[in-house]
Structure 1
């Protein structure tokens, strides 16, 4: 869900010179000659994607035995992968690595590996830049000022300030844009969003508005007072005193009590089903004595906009609600934006943004279902809010959304159609869970218990540059991993494959 004035919220190596063996699959990322997905790997292919962190800095040189064994070269020195995180999701070990060129990160250049019990990589997903051109200018104050100005100007009409600017490389091809190589750039973080600015010219190459969408809890009530669209004007515990916390407060305001309860129900779901602590992972400490907490401000209005505000959003640190939009599915949706921010870095633009919205709808719906939503209401988003139903995951077309990839809408509106094209993700999740005869596939659903574990592994396996079809292949790869651990069966994965085929993302 967006608020119109402000912040919203797969190995990419050249095709190797050896044939794929039976049981392997490689799908090129558009015309890039960079496989976006490798699974069912032959020994030589496995060697191409296994990362060997060094004792010194967790880096992996392109000249390593692994890459040489596969006959793969990036064509230039100085490119490497660095392991950034190893975690467990749904019982599967996941390793994340970031690409660097000459010591600087490649924006969106990431690899996610599934690692078996014996330590071998069983599947790898991600995109990396193959070529680079140019050099970064001196990172002096003049350069910093110039790129920060460009970053701030990306989101006009807002009280927007740059908070950081760091040197990166940017390859447009990683995000499905035209481009032959990674170029020197700056990743500029502002209070309104993220921009990637070309270092030499100051041209904005990519942008993602902050998703102003949405156990220790703090909930505040702004009482429909209109304020500027800055966090400090509505932050719970800074601008407004909490009306309800774990330590007390007996609010008579319905929205305050709703959000307090929904924070608990969402936390119970994430902790119980997924062993993920929302408070610790996405909570905020504003120095008000409450500590790190899930925070929300209700009945917020903004200057120059209709009041009451019929919207809700996650701004990177807390939840914010207009009046009458405090339902469990909306709260779960927005909190999941915070989860995505923490675990995979999906932005709010284009196909990665549609995935961000789709994953939030998926877990918002699962949280709602875990607390009694059933029948026709199971897959509705927004029912009971002042907006009414805004999406139907079982039937995206009911709200002018596509339900398969061939119907994807190409538009500059809505940050590249993020709240439109997530219908493809939503339909897939519905088919996986409940099943249906759709687009030539007769699918038997695997049920919510298994689907929750599947999509949690998917959530932890996405990268910031993942596209819709990358996501579909990740769904199938994740299912294969879970079938190996006994969480799902081979028969389940056959149904999942039908679902991704039906929506044309598999």
Structure 2
């Protein structure tokens, strides 16, 4: 029940083995000082690997961070990303090289985008309408000793028993399915109201009194906070499956009924998560451009799930036994919104080890958010809404993954095909490393000095935002986390030493 898929809280999916490859991280003084643009410096360093286009260039406390996408004749290579950090002197100090080996590229392109989309629809098997119609992008897909042109096709289905966002990789020459995985996609835009900002009050799922921003328009107060980014909006699905539902409206700006509680929690927890990322990391919403945070509550009936579809969080009410109202847990809200941040930063593929990193980072930063802006901090995930009749349990434990049947050491990793190749199962290994870094402790004979929850979060956020790439594996994560600790605190700092030891303790090298 606690095994989850993609950006929803609970589900299962068939695995097709993903692209194999891992990034190489190098650090030091990798180039001589230069007056060239940072993008030029990084491109020159990896020019032997092929063609690259700049997809991001930004400044941070270490230097200029440049992210490149590998291409062949202008067509992106799936997973082929290079990240470089250039200092003020124009020296390349760190590079993550995840350029792929494009061998024996088969240049046959027999399928058109239209045919690829038609094939996708047949494969997905959905007979109804799509929330977001499938779109196809031509890519180069490395396949070991050969490479092919393929279409990456993604569509969104919400009007179904289980909402989904299937991404298929379809050989442009043969129509063969090369890979597939499920993740929820972008939905329709927000429809807000125009009015005056007020402060509302209400009771949340956990019984706490809360205050929050609302917008008065006409005779109603709407759960619309226009003071943060492009707004925070909360909708009511009214126990139906049509999304996003109606923007939550109230006549007196006091939300104290039982039915109101899910909405109060969704609105307040989205606000807290926005503030956490803004005030802690300087990040303006998940896209760092103030994207609206939208939430829908009372989705379906007795729905034991929550998911992020790219523009909003959707929460079920739970059945009262396995879950209560899922919007009630701050760490769950922050977990799901961190999936969105991952999509806009590292883009970790949601399968196997990269998918387990994706899941673990959401658990880790959700836990840091709970510590920073929440109440009753612990190292459990989803404890506030899981099995409301049972005290002291949760969906997962970062301190003791084994208590919930998850591995806490690489030697115990799951190697099967369930859970998308163990994305939630194996996240326990990374969660344990993060716990040891933040809290300290001994594991498998390795002692780790804790650096504190917030420092641990700083290190993992930087790793996600700078050094991780779509196909990063656990070894890549170790390099990214250790390098981030060195960047933030110094190469020989206690934080850098503990970062390395935390991975030693869980058998990741």
Q: Which stretch of structure 1 is more off in the superposition, 342-351 or 362-371?
A: 342-351
Per-residue deviation at 1:462?
1.3
SS in 1 for 2:459: helix
- List gaps (5 residues or longer) in structure 2: 15-19, 157-164, 188-227, 318-324, 388-392
Distance apart, 1:333 and its partner CA: 0.5
RMSD: 3.3
Tell me the distance in 1 between the aligned counterparts of 2:362 and 2:374.
Answer: 19
Hey, what does 2:320 align to over in structure 1?
Answer: none
Aligned residue number for residue 278 of structure 1: 285
8 A Cα contact 1:329 1:367, kept in partner: yes
1:474 to 461, 477, 480: 480
Task: Show the counterpart of 1:354.
Answer: 356
Report the CA distance between 1:373 and its aligned residue. 4.2
Could you say which residue in structure 1 is the equivalent of 2:202?
none
Q: Which residue of 2 aligns with 1:265?
A: 272
**Aligned CA distance change for structure 1 residues 467 and 379 (closer, same or farther; 3 Å):** same
What do the CA deviations read for 1:247-270 (whole angstroms, capped 9, x no partner)?
A: 978574100001111111111111
Q: CA deviation at 1:137?
A: 4.1
Determine if the alignment matches structure 1 residue 168 to structure 2 residue 155. Answer: no
1:183 to 119, 131, 148: 148
Report whether the alignment pairs 1:317 with 2:311: yes
Q: Does residue 501 in structure 1 map to residue 509 in structure 2?
A: no
Contact 2:30 2:91 in 1 (8 A): no
CA distance in 1, matches of 2:232, 2:261: 16
Which residue of structure 1 aligns with residue 292 of structure 2? 293
Structure 1 position 223 matched with structure 2 position 238? yes
Alpha-carbon distance change, 340 to 424 in structure 1, aligned in 2, over 3 angstroms: same
Residues matched between the structures, number: 428
Equivalent residues in 2 for 1:107-118 (5 A)? 107-118=78-89
Q: Distance in 1 between matches of 2:30 and 2:62?
A: 24
TM-score, scaled relative to structure 2? 0.76
Q: Do 1:365 and 1:379's aligned partners in 2 also have CA atoms closer than 8 Å?
A: yes
The aligned counterpart of 1:83 is 54
CA deviation map 1:54-112 (0-9, x unaligned) = 6xxx994xxx5x468xxxx45xxxx3122210224565542111101122110100011
Match of 2:77 in 1: 106
Q: 1:414 pairs with 409, 412, 419, which one? A: 419
Measured after TM superposition, the shift of residue 170 of structure 1 is: 0.9
CA gap 1:40/1:278 in 2 versus in 1, 3 angstroms: closer
CA deviations over 1:96-154 (Å, ceiling 9, x no partner): 11101122110100011233332322221232222332344458xx5223322333345
**What residue number does 1:39 align with?**
26
| Equivalence for 2:211 | none
Contact (CA 8 Å) 1:479, 1:493: kept in 2 or not? Answer: yes
Consecutive unaligned residues in structure 1, runs of 5 or more: 9-31, 173-178, 228-232, 284-291, 302-306
TM-score (norm 1): 0.76
Q: 1:145 aligns with which of 105, 114, 117?
A: 114
Q: 1:3·1:212 contact (CA, 8 Å) conserved in 2?
A: no
Contact 2:22 2:476 in 1 (8 A): no
Which residue among 163, 167, 180 is the counterpart of 1:194?
A: 167
Q: 1:457 to 1:53 in 2, by over 3 A?
A: closer
1:176-211: CA deviations, max 9, x gaps? Answer: xxx213321111122223222111111111222114
Secondary structure at the counterpart of residue 424 of structure 2: helix
User: Paired residue for 1:491?
Assistant: 494
Deviations 1:442-482 (A, max 9, x none): 10011122212111111112111111221111111111212
1:40-55 maps to which residues of 2 (within 5 A)?
40-41=27-28, 43=30, 53=39
> Which whole-Å CA distance do the structure 2 matches of 1:117 and 1:269 have between them?
30
Q: 1:96 to 1:466 in 2, by over 3 A?
A: same
